[in-house]
Chain A
Amino acid sequence: MERLSTIMLVLVGVTVCSTAIAQPTETSPAGDDAESTGAPADESEEQIVPTQVPLPAAENPRAADWTAYGRNNAATRFSPLTEINRDNVGSLERVWSYRTRDLPPQRVDDKWAPETTPLKVGESLYMCSATNILISLDAATGRERWRYDPGVSTDHIPYSASCRGVAYHEDPELDPQAPCRSRVIEGTLDARLIAVDADTGQLCQDFGTNGEVNLLEGMGVTVPGYVAVTSPPTIVRGVAVVGHQVLDGQKEDAPSGVIRGYDATTGELAWAWDMGRPDEKGLPPEGEVYTRGTPNAWTTFSGDEDLGLVYIPMGNSAVDYFSGNRSEAEQQYSTALVALDVTTGDVSWSFQTVYNDVWDYDLGSQGTLLDFPVDGEPVPAVILPTKMGDIYVLDRETGEPLTEVEERQVPQTALPDEQLSDVQPFSVGMPSLAKADLTGKDTWGITPLDQLWCRIQFHRAHYEGIYTPPSKDRRWIQYPGYNGGNDWGGASVDTDRNVLVANYTDVPMFNRLLTREEADEQGLIPLGEPGGSTSSGGAVPQEGSPYGVSIEPWRLFTGVLCNDPPFGGIMAIDLDTREVLWDVPLGTARNNGPFGIPSLLPFDIGTPNNGGSAITAGGLIFIAAATDDLIRAIDIETGEVLWQDHLPAGGQATPIVYEANGRQYVVIMAGGHHFMETTIGDYVLAYALPE
C-alpha cells in the first residue's frame, strides 16, 4: 500500500511538473538545480526553476553531485562543473587515495574486476567493493565514514568479482529524522538486495527482512556463482529495478533472467518481468519457478521518471552460441533494448539489435537518455551503443528508430540444426564504432613470421564479415568480438555541445563450436553438476544444445593479438550533424608486449578497454579503461590527451566528477581486471587542482 501511495505521489508530481503549476514544496537536497534546463551550473541561481516539485536525486542531481551510476538516471556521465578545464588540467594532482581492503584471496585472483563507480551525494561518496562491502567516504578528504560488510563469500563469484556501483534513494514520505530516509541500495554477488542508511551504514530495518531481500526467491535450482548482481539497481518512481547476470554458456536449464522491480523503501516485490510468463507479474506459484534459461540483463539500466520507463539492455539466452532451440520469447527479447513500465512491469516497447544472436553480442552498454535533434527539433531519445559498434538512436517513448536502420543480408549457417536470420539490422544513420571487415592484410605480429602465422590462421578460418555464423569444422572469426565495440562503460554525452563520446575495443574472437562428444572429451561440465565450476573462459559446455563452444581472443602463443592495432579507441560524434568529430586510439603500449612482458613503449597503440568516460562542461573527457593503467583527460574538441597519470592498478572503471567544499574532484577506482590482464588493486583515487 505504501508503494501505491508513493507511486500516486509521483504521478501527481509529474502532472504538476508537466502543467508547470508549481507548488512551493520542500526542496529535495539533491534535486534543486536547474540542470534540466541545460543551464551551466554556476548560473543556476539566475535561472527560472521550472518546478519546485522535488525530483529524485538520480533524476536530477545537483551540479556538485553524481547521484546515479551514469551521474543521473539518463546516464549522460556529463558534469556541469568547469573549475577543472582545458587550460588548467595539466596541473591536476592526486589529492587523496583510499583502499577498500577488499583484495582477492589467491584462489580467486584470476576472477577479480571491481569495475566500481562511486556515487557522490551531498558531502559523501557511496560505493561498493569487489565483493559488495558498502563504503561511504568523505567526498573532500577520502576519509572513511562508515563501512558495511554483508559477508559475501568468494564462492559466489561468477565470471568476475565485480560491483559496478550502488543506487542512492531518498524517500520524501519518511520523517526527516527517520533512519534510512536516505539510503544506499546494492545488489550482491550472492543475489541479495541490501539497503543501508546513507548516514550510518546501518541496515534499513524497513527494507525486506532486516534490510535484505533474497533475489533467489522463485529462481528454482541454482548454485553459488550462477546468479549474481554486478550492476547497481536503477530507481525510477520509487521502484528499484534489478537484473542479474547468469553465468554464460553452462546449460540451457540455467536460472531465469527475470527482471524485477522492488519498492525501494519496503523492499516488496512490485513486479517481475518473466518473458516466459508475460501475463504473470508476481512470484511464480508454488512449485513453479521463473522461466529458466531466458536472456538476462547484467548491465546498468537507465530510466525516465517522467515517462515512468526503465530501459533494459538485455543480454542473451543462457546458451549464447546456439539459437536453434530458443523459445519465441527468447527470440524476441535476446539482445534487445526493452522499455519496461516501472509501475506495472509491462513491456512498453522493445527493439532488437541482433536477431538470433549466436555471437554473445549481449547489450552491455547502458542506454543514454537525451533530447536528440531530428530536423532541428529535440526528440526525447535513448542512445544505445552496442558490441557490434552500431549506435542506435530510438524514440524513448515508442522505441521507433530516429535515425535510419537498415536490414541487410548476412552470411548463412551450414549447420542443419541451427536457425538464423537471413538479415540483421544495421544502424546506418549513425557513425559506427566498428572498423571495416578484416582481410589478410589486417593480420599483425612482431615479426613477419608471427604475422604470417596469423595470416595462415585467417585464411584457414571461416570468416565472411560481421555475423559470420558459428562453425564446428573449423574456427570462425567473430569480428567485432564479444568485448565490443562498446561494452558496459557505455557512452557519455556532453548535452551542452551535443557531442557523444564512446570508447570501444577492436579485437576479433577466434571461436569454434564443439560437438557434444568433443565437449565431453574436454571435460566441460556445466556449473551446478558435480565437477562443474564457474570458470567460463576458454570453452563452455552449453549443455542442452547440440554444441559446446571454444571462445578465444584471436592471438598467438606469444600473447600478441593477430589483428592490427589500434585494439581500441575513443570516438566523438556530433549529434547535430551525426558525423564523427574525431576518432583516436585509446591506450599506450607501455604495459603490453610479447609473452606478457611490458614493452614500456609510450606510443598510442590503442588497447582493449573496459570502463566508460566522464565528460565535464570544462571541455574535458576523463577516462582510464585502457590496459596501460593511465587515467587521462582528453580535449573534447580535438581528442588530444591534455593530462595523464599512472594508476597503481588497472583503471577498468568509469570515473566520476563532483564538487565538495567548493573544490572539483575527479575520482576513479583502480581495481584492475582479470580479463584485461591489468594489475589488480583496491585503490580509490581523487584528483584535484592544487589549492
Chain B
Amino acid sequence: MDVVLLRIFAIVVALFGGAMLLGGFWLITLGGSWYYALAGLAMLVAGILMAQRRILGAWIYFVVFLLSAVWAIGEVGFEPWLLMPRLLALAVFVVLTALFIPVLRKPTSRPKQSGV
C-alpha cells in the first residue's frame, strides 16, 4: 500500500515538474526567468527516481526545494503573500517526500528474480 501511495506521489511530482519544464521552456523563449525550466527538469527527474523507489530522487527534490527557496527570497524577499505561490506547494511536496523516505529505504519486497 505504502509503495502504491509513493508511486502516485512520485508521479504527481514528475508531472508537476514536467509541466514546469514545458512552461518554463516557453517562458525562456519569451525572454523570461530560467528558474521554472530548471526546477521543473529537476523535479521531473526526482519524481521518476522516486517512482523507481530510488532514494536519490528524494535528495534531488530536497535540493530543488532549497534552491527554490533561495531563488524565491532573492526574487521577492520575505513577503509571505509573494512567497506563497513560489514555495507553498513545493513545501507540501517536501513534507510528503520526507514522509515517504522510510518507504524509499525499505528493502524492496520484490523477489530478485534475476541473478539466480
Query: In the complex, which of the residues A444, A446, A455, A566 contacts B89, with contact meaning CB atoms closer than 8 Å?
Result: A446
Residues of B within 8 A of A446 (CB): 84-85, 88-89
Q: Assess A459 versus B82: contact at CB under 8 Å? Given A446-B89, A447-B89.
A: no
B68's nearest neighbour on chain A, judged by CB, is: A448
Asked if residues A453 and B85 are in contact (CB atoms below 8 Å), the reply is: no
Per the CB 8 Å criterion, the residue count for chain A at the interface is 21
In the complex, A564 has a CB within 8 A of chain B: yes
Query: In the complex, which of the residues B16, B24, B26, B81 contacts A565, with contact meaning CB atoms closer than 8 Å?
Result: B81
Asked if residues B33 and A440 are in contact (CB atoms below 8 Å), the reply is: yes
Asked if residues A444 and B31 are in contact (CB atoms below 8 Å), the reply is: no
Asked if residues A455 and B33 are in contact (CB atoms below 8 Å), the reply is: yes
Query: In the complex, which of the residues B16, B31, B32, B33 contacts A449, with contact meaning CB atoms closer than 8 Å?
Result: B16
In the complex, B100 has a CB within 8 A of chain A: no
Which residues of B in the span 66-107 have a Cβ within 8 Å of any Cβ on A?
75-76, 81-82, 84-86, 88-90
In the complex, A445 has a CB within 8 A of chain B: yes
Q: Which of A448, A564, A566 has the most CB of B within 10 A?
A: A448
Q: Assess A455 versus B27: contact at CB under 8 Å? Given A440-B32, A448-B36.
A: yes
1/0 per position for A645-661, CB-CB distance to B under 8 A?
00000000000000000
Q: Assess A448 versus B89: contact at CB under 8 Å? Given A453-B23, A565-B81, A605-B81.
A: yes
Residues of A within 8 A of B33 (CB): 440, 455
Bound together, the chains give a CA A676 to CA B49 distance in angstroms of 46
In the complex, B39 has a CB within 8 A of chain A: yes
Query: In the complex, which of the residues A449, A458, A565 contacts B23, with contact meaning CB atoms closer than 8 Å?
Result: A449
Bound together, the chains give a CA A566 to CA B23 distance in angstroms of 26
A564's nearest neighbour on chain B, judged by CB, is: B82
Bound together, the chains give a CA A453 to CA B40 distance in angstroms of 14
Bound together, the chains give a CA A326 to CA B16 distance in angstroms of 51
In the complex, B19 has a CB within 8 A of chain A: yes
Query: In the complex, which of the residues A447, A459, A564, A566 contacts B27, with contact meaning CB atoms closer than 8 Å?
Result: A459
A446's nearest neighbour on chain B, judged by CB, is: B85
In the complex, A450 has a CB within 8 A of chain B: yes
Q: How far is the CB of A61 from chain B (nearest CB, A)?
A: 41
Q: How far is the CB of B93 from chain A (nearest CB, A)?
A: 10
A450's nearest neighbour on chain B, judged by CB, is: B85
Residues of A within 8 A of B26 (CB): 456
Residues of B within 8 A of A445 (CB): 85
Residues of A within 8 A of B90 (CB): 448
In the complex, B20 has a CB within 8 A of chain A: yes
Q: Assess A448 versus B39: contact at CB under 8 Å? Given A453-B23, A605-B81.
A: yes
Asked if residues A447 and B88 are in contact (CB atoms below 8 Å), the reply is: yes
Asked if residues B86 and A448 are in contact (CB atoms below 8 Å), the reply is: yes
Q: Which of A444, A446, A459 has the most CB of B within 10 A?
A: A459
Bound together, the chains give a CA A564 to CA B86 distance in angstroms of 12
In the complex, B4 has a CB within 8 A of chain A: no
Q: How far is the CB of B75 from chain A (nearest CB, A)?
A: 5
In the complex, A471 has a CB within 8 A of chain B: no
Asked if residues A447 and B32 are in contact (CB atoms below 8 Å), the reply is: no
Bound together, the chains give a CA A30 to CA B114 distance in angstroms of 99
Which residues of B in the span 4-28 have a Cβ within 8 Å of any Cβ on A?
16, 19-20, 23-24, 26-27
B33's nearest neighbour on chain A, judged by CB, is: A440
In the complex, B30 has a CB within 8 A of chain A: yes
Per the CB 8 Å criterion, the residue count for chain B at the interface is 23
1/0 per position for A531-574, CB-CB distance to B under 8 A?
00000000000000000000000000000000011100000000
Residues of A within 8 A of B30 (CB): 456, 459-460
1/0 per position for A464-477, CB-CB distance to B under 8 A?
00000000000000
Query: In the complex, which of the residues B20, B31, B82 contacts A448, with contact meaning CB atoms closer than 8 Å?
Result: B20
In the complex, A451 has a CB within 8 A of chain B: yes
In the complex, A347 has a CB within 8 A of chain B: no
Q: How far is the CB of B95 from chain A (nearest CB, A)?
A: 15
Residues of A within 8 A of B32 (CB): 440, 455-456, 458-459
In the complex, A379 has a CB within 8 A of chain B: no
Bound together, the chains give a CA A452 to CA B23 distance in angstroms of 7
B87's nearest neighbour on chain A, judged by CB, is: A448
1/0 per position for A429-446, CB-CB distance to B under 8 A?
000000000001100111
B24's nearest neighbour on chain A, judged by CB, is: A452
Bound together, the chains give a CA A460 to CA B32 distance in angstroms of 10
Q: Which of B19, B24, B84 has the most CB of A within 10 A?
A: B84
Q: How far is the CB of A554 from chain B (nearest CB, A)?
A: 15
A457's nearest neighbour on chain B, judged by CB, is: B30
Bound together, the chains give a CA A566 to CA B79 distance in angstroms of 11
Q: How far is the CB of B64 from chain A (nearest CB, A)?
A: 11
Query: In the complex, which of the residues A451, A458, A566, A605 contacts B86, with contact meaning CB atoms closer than 8 Å?
Result: A451
Asked if residues A444 and B82 are in contact (CB atoms below 8 Å), the reply is: yes
Asked if residues A447 and B76 are in contact (CB atoms below 8 Å), the reply is: no
Asked if residues A444 and B27 are in contact (CB atoms below 8 Å), the reply is: no
Asked if residues B81 and A452 are in contact (CB atoms below 8 Å), the reply is: no
Q: How far is the CB of B17 from chain A (nearest CB, A)?
A: 10
Residues of A within 8 A of B82 (CB): 444, 564-565
Query: In the complex, which of the residues B23, B75, B89 contacts A456, with contact meaning CB atoms closer than 8 Å?
Result: B23
Which residues of A in the span 603-642 have a Cβ within 8 Å of any Cβ on B?
605
B82's nearest neighbour on chain A, judged by CB, is: A564
Q: How far is the CB of A313 from chain B (nearest CB, A)?
A: 33
Bound together, the chains give a CA A444 to CA B72 distance in angstroms of 12
The 5 closest A-B pairs by CB, nearest first: A459-B30, A447-B89, A451-B85, A445-B85, A452-B23
16 A–B contacts, CB within 8 A, in A order: A440-B32, A444-B85, A446-B88, A447-B89, A448-B36, A448-B39, A448-B86, A448-B90, A449-B20, A449-B89, A452-B36, A455-B32, A458-B32, A564-B76, A565-B81, A566-B81
A450-B85, A455-B36, A459-B27 given; 5 more Cβ-contact pairs under 8 Å: A440-B32, A441-B75, A449-B23, A456-B26, A566-B81
